[in-house]
Structure 1
Amino acid sequence: MEAGVEKKTAISPKSKKRPRRKREVPPTEVGDIEDISFSKDETLQIRASLLEWYDKNQRDLPWRTMSGGLDERDKRGYAVWVSEVMLQQTRVSTVIDYFKRWMNKWPTLHHLAQASLEEVNEMWAGLGYYRRVRFLLQGAKEVVEGGGRFPETVSDLRKIKGIGEYTAGAIASIAFRKAVPVVDGNVVRVISRLKTISANPKDAATVKSFWKLAGQLVDPCRPGDFNQALMELGATLCSLSNPGCAACPISAQCHVLSLSGENELVHVTDYPTKVVKAKQRHEFSAVSVVEILNCQETMGPQSSSKYILVKRPNKGLLAGLWEFPSVLLEKEADLTSRRKAVDNYLQSSFNLDLKESARIVSRENIGECVHVFSHIRLKMYVELLVLHAKGNRSIDYKRQDKESITWKYVDNENLGNMGLTSGVRKVYTMVQKHKQTEQSTIPGRRRKTAVRR
């Protein structure tokens, strides 16, 4: 949930809707944002109403039901940390199963600290934003190396790799009952509507003011519950485009709702101010799914066919994850250009000599697919390159320069069970569907005639 709105369908009762007119005046703002504050009466009313609503309506989530006893303080802090990192930019419904599997494999911080990056990447596959899990692992190792005692305060939590202001506030308040605020996209939306704040919510000064206002509201007796209630309200009733104001427990304190009843040009959904997102960068890549028939690197009779997977560098996008051999292209390219780029990559990176090491059985253009990252729109051109090892020799890849590449053979069964990223999974699914279609349309033939170069 940090740095973004929880991706959850709004839960709101049916209410009367009036036709929306084009706004001709800017939304009303109550004074300078630095001068805005909640009165004592407002604060007490919001706390009481919101906590009462939360006690009745909170969702049953696994990280909320873990014991909070003193003997399990470290486990509680660890569980909140894992859940909050997973919830960043990810739907709650998606996180639940991931969280359960994670806690079953690494129930404590000490268990996680002993894991490898490859293991946590496998477990994380499909959640995206893999930088989060690298920091989570690194942070766990830091805590254990520092004595193993889980930090309780925001200042101490901020010293851990990957823990920012939001995550520190969430752990401190939820796990250790520290009266500190948390601010995510849901909290920004609720507060901006309560106080009709139309300032740019991404501006540094505005963000600082939201933290100040959230700090005024947080309940000193139940800080963790209050913070979760505020986020829960933003994720459900006080949604981005379909707010359920009629059922909102703090609608009496909502200034924008009051104004919308007096001025038809003012709408609750005008807040917070919409910020134009930066345009995504368009990138293109040629992906070659290389399958080796009669591979001698076998582990049994079912391992005669293998795929080649390459490990990405340990820094940068999707660091340390496995993918099919691929080449970034400068722009959209035709089939001939793509194959030339792939051939150069295989030759320069692995010293792969198709004439000496293998013969091409088939080389087929499978199609295209698009994978979207937060800042990149990647278009992948996918091909299936089937090679046959000559004689009894295996295809031996040897990098010629000093920069090493980590790669491995994976058979079809193990590949299907690997924790692949969603982008790699898309490519693999395309290949599997292609094979199934080919086998069903050409009885008695497993492949098309080889495409020779």
Structure 2
Amino acid sequence: MKRKQLSSSTDEDSAAGSSSLPGSGEICSAHSFQDDFEVSSIRSNLLGWYDENKRDLPWRKCSHNDVNRRLYEVWVSEIMCQQTQVGTVINYYNKWIKKWPTVERLAKASVDQVIEAWAGLGYYSRGRRLLEGSQVVMNDLDGKIPHSSAELMKRIPGVGRYTACAIASISCKEPVGVVDGNVIRVLSRMRCIGADTSQPATMEYLWSLANNLVDHERPGDFNQSVMELGATVCTPKNPACSTCPVSGYCMAYKKVEREKKLSEERLSGKTPDENENVKDIEDTASCSMCLPSSEPWDKAQGVMNFPRKAKKKPPREQKNGVCLVQKMTNDGHIKYLMVQRPEKGLLASMWEFPSVEISPDCTETKRREEEEQYLNLLGVKVQKINQRSSLGDIVHIFSHIRQTYEIDLVVALEDDITESEPETDQNMKWVTSKEMEDMGISTAMKKVFGAIDGSTTNKNKRRKQDEKNQPKLDRFFKRKTPSKT
């Protein structure tokens, strides 16, 4: 989704000042925060809870007074945490900061070094954008990272609205809110936002709520407190409402508790007071933020009625033939042919085994023909194949693609492989399995390579030989005998 900058609120802005947005239609007043006392209480409760319960994360520690370095550290952490679990990011972040502790050091890195450090985090274009951004800072901004969210978005490639506001609020205390998946969930439940959160008008309204709610004294801590709440308490499934520090200000929770009370009164024989003076939202057809009549409140779901999203399209199916070319070198090593992907697009600049897209009904014979044609384009010709086998299929799910790899293994001696001028500008090289560990290869390609181990009868021996990187040639030509059971 393309993000547009929203001007931050001022101290004079009323808490309920964003009851409507241009083009958004009528919005019930209950979808906004109603008064200054409510806003003040939410801020106080969230910050108090955050101070006592925040997770111990490396990017939250600051042992220096260098603002530029602090901006860089938060920038790296925010890019890494996008669409990746925090638990996964910690180790990557620590290694990254150890390798490139400043924006100046990162700007001197190569694309291959960055991809290698990013391998396994997914969404690899994020690492490239970090590198590009650091080079812009050093080449165009005299090494100084902008302090404001507006300048960050304007000057740094790959920094959008959320990232800019997070960096500026945490590092420089700019009083702007943030809206990510966790914040969307928290705000949608607190204000019963039933509109589709994938729509621009809904996102703009959530941004207005976040900007009105942010604490002006501790904007960075407040923004992190909302995100922390969404990650640990107000979770997508099984939220821990009983431990939530702002449940008293949550419209969805109040609706659940009110329905529970009415049900208990009916069961006990009491006449429930249907007109009890409890602030509630009755979904209004004319309100653009209420639950749509086509998808009304589901009692069984409780607060999990919110947020509402458009149903995701299933990932498209794609099938590729992958050719693992294994070269037995004259000095007794095993090397594999690797090709570098284009600089743009899926898995940009990552290294992979020669791979060609094939039709869903492609036969094995046709697949191997297409793989051979691709090798010829690379200038690689296998004159004599000592072993050829199919290693089966593996499936890897990208965000929008369900990718099936059909894997072929081709084993040949070094003298039986010729190389000529390639007809493509793709980079390629021969690497050992040990060298492969230090390259930027995707999780999908690691799965593909793992199929080799899955095709052998003695995995432990194979692993030891790969580690030594000096297997004997005759191992590949001896007849295998069945292992004893």
Normalised TM-score (structure 1) = 0.85
1:83-119 per-residue CA deviation (whole Å, 9 max, x = no partner) reads 0000011011100000000000000000000111111
Separation in 1, partners of 2:213, 2:477: 66
1:385-442 CA distance string (max 9 Å, x none): 0111337xx6324213xx412100102321244342101100111113323548979x
Match of 2:318 in 1: 283
Residue 205 of structure 2 aligns with which residue? 209
In 1, are the aligned partners of 2:116 and 2:438 still within 8 Å (CA)?
no
Match of 1:418 in 2: 439
Question: Which structure is richer in relative contact order (CA contacts within 8 A, separation 6 or more)?
Answer: 1
Contact 2:453/2:459 (<8 A) preserved: no
8 Å CA contact retained: 2:351, 2:439: no
Alignment partner of 1:247 is 2:282: no
| Structure 2 Cα separation of the partners of residues 68 and 221 of structure 1 | 21
Query: 2:90 — aligned with what?
Result: 96
Q: Name the structure 1 match of 2:102.
A: 108
For the residue of structure 1 that corresponds to 2:71, the secondary structure is helix
Q: Which residue of 2 aligns with 1:370?
A: 395
What secondary structure, in the 3-state scheme, does the structure 1 residue paired with 2:320 have? strand
User: What amino acid maps onto 2:316 in structure 1?
Assistant: R
Contact in 1 for aligned 2:133/2:157 (Cα 8 Å): yes
CA–CA separation in structure 1 for the residues paired with 2:55 and 2:150: 30
Letter of the 1:390 partner, please give it.
Answer: D
Name the SS of the counterpart of 2:386 in structure 1: strand
Structure 1 equivalent of residue 151 of structure 2: 156
Residues 273-422 of structure 1 mapped to structure 2, 5 A cutoff = 273-294=308-329, 301=331, 304-347=333-376, 349-355=377-383, 359-390=384-415, 395-400=418-423, 403-422=424-443
Question: How many percent of aligned residue pairs carry the same amino acid?
Answer: 40
How far residue 122 of structure 1 moved from its aligned partner, in angstroms, is 0.4
Among 127, 135, 141, the residue aligned to 1:141: 135
Partner of residue 233, structure 1: 229
2:173 maps to which of 163, 174, 177: 177
Deviation of 1:68 after TM superposition, in Å, equals 5.6
Alpha-carbon displacement from aligned partner over 1:151-200 (angstroms, at most 9, x marks no partner):
01011000210000000000000011111110001101111111111011
The one-character-per-residue Cα deviations of 1:318-367 (angstroms, maximum 9, x if unpaired) are 111100011111224221121111112112x1243333xxx101011011
Change (3 A) 1:68 1:46: farther
Structure 1 residue 133, shift from structure 2 partner? 1.0
Q: Distance in 2 between the 1:415 and 1:90 partners?
A: 24
Task: Number of aligned residue pairs: give it.
Answer: 404
Give 1:270's aligned residue.
Answer: 305
How far, CA to CA, are the matches of 2:323 and 2:247 in structure 1? 56
What is the distance in 1 between the residues matched to 2:189 and 2:306?
A: 6
> 1:35 deviation in Å?
7.8
The SS at the match of 1:387 is: strand
Q: Unpaired runs of 5+ in structure 2?
A: 4-25, 261-297, 463-473, 481-485
Asked if structure 2 preserves the Cα contact closer than 8 Å seen for 1:439 and 1:446, the reply is no
Question: Is the alpha carbon distance of 1:440 and 1:409 closer, same or farther for their aligned partners in structure 2, counting shifts above 3 Å?
Answer: closer
Contact 1:438-1:447 at 8 Å conserved across structures? no
Shift in alpha-carbon separation, 1:231–1:429, aligned structure 2, 3 A: same
CA contact (8 A) 2:72 2:103 kept: yes
Give the RMSD, CA atoms, in angstroms. 2.2
The one-character-per-residue Cα deviations of 1:198-257 (angstroms, maximum 9, x if unpaired) are 011111001000000001110000000000000000001100111101100001101111
| Larger Rg computed on CA atoms | 2
Superposition TM-score, scaled by structure 2 size: 0.79
Compute the displacement of 1:33 (Å).
Answer: 6.0
